Amino acid sequence: MIDIVFVPSVRKGNGSGHLIRCFGLANSLGSRAAVYLPEEPGTESWSSDELRLAYPRELSSVRVIESLSPQDRFAWIILDNRETTRHELLHWASHGAVIAIDEGGEARFGVDYLVDILPGLPRVERRRIAANSASLGYLALPEARRSPPAMIRRVLVSFGGEDKAGLTSRFLQLALGKRYLKPEQITVVTGALSEAATQYPGVTAIGPVQDLKEKLSSYDLVVTLFGLTAFEAAWAGCAVLVFNPGRVHEELSMAAGFTSLGVGTAKESVFRRALLDQETLVEASRRAAPAERHDLAAKIASLSPGNSGACPVCGARVGVALFRDDSRSYFRCTDCGMVRMSSFVDKAVPYIDTAYFFDQYKAQYGKTYVEDIPTIRAAAAKRLRILESLIQGGFSGRTLLDVGCAYGAFAIEAQTRGWNAVGMDLSLDAVAYVQSTYAIPAFVADFSGLEAEGLYPRDLYALTMWYVIEHFDDLGRVLDKVARLLQPGGVFAFSTPSLGGISARKSLRGFLRDSPDDHCTVWHPKTATGILRRFGFEVQRIVVTGHHPERFPGVPNRSTSLRYIVAMMISKLFGLGDTFECYAVYTGTRAKGRISDYAE
């Protein structure tokens, strides 16, 4: 079964490196992978028939898809497309989660997982979100390697599958016309998509070479443009000279550390100096080579699409990336404003284990959850007073469901105040404790699942989630369920980490980097109203909590410090706490939410 589809660039002028890389990766992944080569791509691109003629050996070992129906879905779509537009990304995102390789277009900010192989320009890298994974070692590096050449005798000239700029001829005019090299020293590779072979008396011209990278170590010097061959040759131990068709290639060459002959016209002075000081040329090539080899096919195979894809609130397929690391990406939805996390590794659920409430809780707070119940109940009382103020006609004897009740601190406080409290949690031990210690009805269930539908009390007057809502990766379905369980006028209350707090404002990337792996969404107080209105809720009150003055720059962690006191006042005045509570009434009327004025 095919679950990975590679989409290489087939646009004329984009070279053959994207194609070769996708063929190799698809071959490594075997029967689960295919390469998309459109049968009729348009006049500016190579057709599948043309590519089959140019690459018969490579295509004999991979599966090819020439057309897709709107219903076709795959685990991964992998774009190796140089520059992909947002419109194109939206199209591919409808077929599966998207990985992009060396993406330089609009899609860089929206793909689920981003791999950078070739280094970018430093001035550009500083302005864009880093890739999930980046390494020159992901190149399909040659097995055959050599010792650095002591003298340049054999020269290979290869300017890719097309050489639209005619760089081969221009280099040979310099090397042979000025007699820096003899014809018998030079071998020229003509690409599979080249319109014409270059012929020079005495120069060896060879047609498209299968697995060219394994032949590189036979040569002392490789002359090529910035791209895959340059790094492959450097890894193989050759001296490398780059000669580029455009300014971007040239800037990338210089950033990578290669010795360059320039753009369009080869600089004789550079070539002469390279031949006279071959030791410096060889050392520059060695430094530009990848440090170690990595298996990109194995990396792709290890990734799980998990909860990647559309926004869990509104279904928008593409957001804007805020932060990426090796196993996660965070996006802000441009429609509803929700910030979601896509995880690419399978994770265990930590809060099922009793250690989550005992050893881990004590490590963080200095006491176990059970030992901390009096403090938690005091906070619960404050929350219940706010919640109860929103209930019309009183609350005594009315049913409240506490989702993620843990060891029952909120549920017992609610019961003490006259509520008919019901608890639910994923932890067997926690639910047993609530039942035996407090005689409160409680059951084990995953609120986002379907297996416990008959267990939920209906026509609730209140449903609460204290630091639970961020754990659901299918948030839209969860909010739908909350709306179904509450009767009109019922209150939905929750607490969650805040994107509006000082930690996120000080460093959004740092905040997201440190966010727990099981937090699938990250809320902001200013977007909560629009998001909840989509599901029939009207926000009545936002309470900012989690004030930490010591997280302000330059503020010491001493409550008696003047700076600490001032920072606390500022934090409360401007709502800069790192958590918040939301209290919303279910109206039963849904409306499309808006992003409000939050546009950081």
- Span of 225-239, 347-361, 435-449 with lowest mean pLDDT: 347-361
Q: Find tokens 């599948």 and name the residue.
A: 48
Between residues 271 and 121, which one has the greater pLDDT? 271
Domain boundary at 112, 138, 164, which?
138
- Span of 422-426, 443-447, 588-592 with lowest mean pLDDT: 588-592
130 in the same domain as 181? no
Q: What is the pLDDT of residues 465-483, one digit of tens each?
A: 999 999 999 999 999 999 9
Distance of alpha carbon 212 from alpha carbon 215, whole angstroms = 5
What pLDDT shows up at residue 52?
87
* pLDDT exceeds cutoff 90 at 212: no
Please give the span between the terminal C-alpha atoms of the chain, in angstroms, as a whole number. 43
Mean pLDDT (the chain) is 90
* pLDDT exceeds cutoff 90 at 101: yes
* pLDDT exceeds cutoff 60 at 195: no
Is the four-CA dihedral 586, 587, 592, 594 of positive or negative sign? negative
177 in the same domain as 89? no
Q: Does residue 304 form part of some domain?
A: no
- In 159-274 the beta strands, taken as DSSP E runs, fall at 186-189, 204-206, 221-224, 239-244, 259-263
Q: What is the pLDDT of residues 389-410, one digit of tens each?
A: 999 988 888 999 999 999 999 9
160 in the same domain as 72? no
What pLDDT shows up at residue 132?
95
What pLDDT shows up at residue 351?
64
15 in the same domain as 65? yes
Residue range 8-14: mean pLDDT, rounded: 85
Q: At 553, which amino acid appears?
A: P
Distance of alpha carbon 130 from alpha carbon 142, whole angstroms = 27
What pLDDT shows up at residue 72?
94
What pLDDT shows up at residue 129?
79
Q: What is the DSSP letter of 18?
A: H
Residue range 418-437: mean pLDDT, rounded: 95
Number of structural domains, the chain?
2
133 in the same domain as 13? yes
Q: Does residue 126 form part of some domain?
A: yes
Give me the CATH number covering residue 40: 3.40.50
What pLDDT shows up at residue 569?
96
97 in the same domain as 170? no
Q: What is the pLDDT of residues 574-586, one digit of tens each?
A: 999 999 999 999 9
* pLDDT exceeds cutoff 50 at 51: yes
Residue range 141-146: mean pLDDT, rounded: 94
What pLDDT shows up at residue 190?
82
Tell me if residue 77 falls in helix, strand or coil.
Answer: strand
Residue range 158-162: mean pLDDT, rounded: 79
* pLDDT exceeds cutoff 70 at 29: yes
What pLDDT shows up at residue 349?
63
* pLDDT exceeds cutoff 90 at 298: yes
Q: Evaluate whether 5 touches 78 at the Cβ level (below 8 Å).
A: yes
Distance of alpha carbon 131 from alpha carbon 136, whole angstroms = 13
Domain boundary at 288, 323, 340, which?
288
160 in the same domain as 129? no
Domain boundary at 74, 106, 138, which?
138
Q: Evaluate whether 455 touches 441 at the Cβ level (below 8 Å).
A: no
72 in the same domain as 10? yes
Q: Any residues with CB less than 8 A from the CB of 514 and at least 6 apart, and which?
A: none
159 in the same domain as 281? yes
* pLDDT exceeds cutoff 50 at 597: no
Give me the CATH number covering residue 282: 3.40.50.2000
362 pLDDT band (50/70/90 cuts)? confident
272 in the same domain as 190? yes
Structural domain span for residue 183: 155-288
Instruction: Say if residue 397 is exposed, middle or buried (CB neighbours under 10 Å; 0-12, 13-18, 19+).
Output: exposed
Q: Does residue 88 form part of some domain?
A: yes
Q: Does residue 271 form part of some domain?
A: yes
